[in-house]
Homo-oligomer: A and B are copies of this chain.
Amino acid sequence: MAGGIKELTVDLGERSYPILIGPGLLARVGSLFAERGFAVKSPILLITDASVEDLYAGTVEQSLRDKGYTVARAVVPSGETSKSLTVFDDMITACLEAGLDRRSTVIALGGGVVGDLAGFVAATYMRGVRFVQIPTTILAHDSSVGGKVAVNHRLAKNIIGAFYQPEFVMYDLDTLLTLPIREVKAGLSEVVKHGLIWNADFVAWCDDNVDKLLALDPEALGYALYEGCKVKAIVVSRDERENDLRAILNLGHTIGHALEAVAGYGELLHGEAIAIGMVGSARLAGKFGYDPSIEAVTEALFRKIGSPVRIPGHLDVDQIMAAMQHDKKFMEGQMVFVVPTAIGAVEIRHDVPTAWVREIVEGLREGN
């Protein structure tokens, strides 16, 4: 495509789909729908959140209407609390009220929360309708690619969900310019994660370009998102349903999810929680005898970005440990951890002693 737009493919046979990254894409949604043969007669539901609605929903809807599509809008509160069965139920009501049929499309316009929620709506409404991801945060470069959709349960995050691939992912870089700096930093954690698991050169590039990334320099940001999405697309193409390889994408997530659950969704941003989790995983690498500089490099990079690297002191260690037992990665009675073996490489370990994890969690708490 023209106009500085990069394109990647998630290769999944007949369910393959493109990721488009570039400026000015929101106004082209209608054309993309028409080019790809989306049914004009079947209504579309645009799901977005209160923060994104005013900024971008109008542009997307106008672009669709210009091509003859009917589109309704459903707005959820901003934040992780919208990934609940209650809000999910409201979205199904919205689908019914908008008259969505089996050939309809659900569009997610927003961050990871909106993408995960809207994706689960698309996966389950009438047993599955078309789904399009329009991420508007840096963090969502991760969640919008790969088809993992889910809502939370009060006892565990992302525990109710599906593998459900979108028709395409459309990343308009212009939408990132309005992000609060805290979300920029949190989003960069997932970008860096893709480097840490797969690509040491990209980690070095991130380290050299932190200033540009924090300043939302379009060229640097476009490159970083492209590289991050590329790692994600490669991994997902090889193991869509997380039978083995895909689990490496969970670097930092065992501890990170537990922190989010115990803090109550919302206090820690997802990117912040997994940044702390990645520091924890790097310490685990040291325990297993890998190069101690892994921890130093990981922590220094997150400090440079301005991500938290310590667990808030008021969170209870027992609660954090208990929350990990409810994690999906807990299998056949054992904790599963992604452990770095070097910068840019990881392994999946099923033999992590609980005592080590507790020691690391205690050691990472602020004040220790």
Contacts and interface: CB of A to CB of B under 8 A. Distances in A.
A81 to B, nearest CB: 15
A240 to B, nearest CB: 11
A92 B160 contact: yes
Given A39-B332, A101-B332, A92 B159 contact: yes
A89 B96 contact: no
A159 B125 contact: yes
For chain A, give the interface size range.
35 or more
A124 to B, nearest CB: 5
A159 B123 CA distance: 11
A65 B326 CA distance: 24
A179 interface: no
Interface of A: 39, 41-42, 85, 88-89, 92-93, 96, 99, 101-103, 123-128, 148, 150, 153, 155-156, 159-163, 241-242, 325-326, 328, 330-333
28 contacts: A39-B332, A42-B331, A42-B332, A85-B88, A92-B153, A92-B159, A92-B160, A93-B155, A96-B153, A96-B156, A101-B328, A101-B331, A101-B332, A102-B328, A102-B331, A103-B331, A103-B332, A124-B161, A124-B162, A125-B159, A126-B159, A126-B161, A127-B148, A127-B150, A127-B242, A127-B328, A128-B241, A162-B162
Contacts of A325: 99
A155 B124 contact: no
A333 B41 contact: yes
Nearest to A161: B127
The 5 nearest A-B residue pairs measured at CB = A41-B332, A126-B328, A127-B161, A101-B331, A96-B155
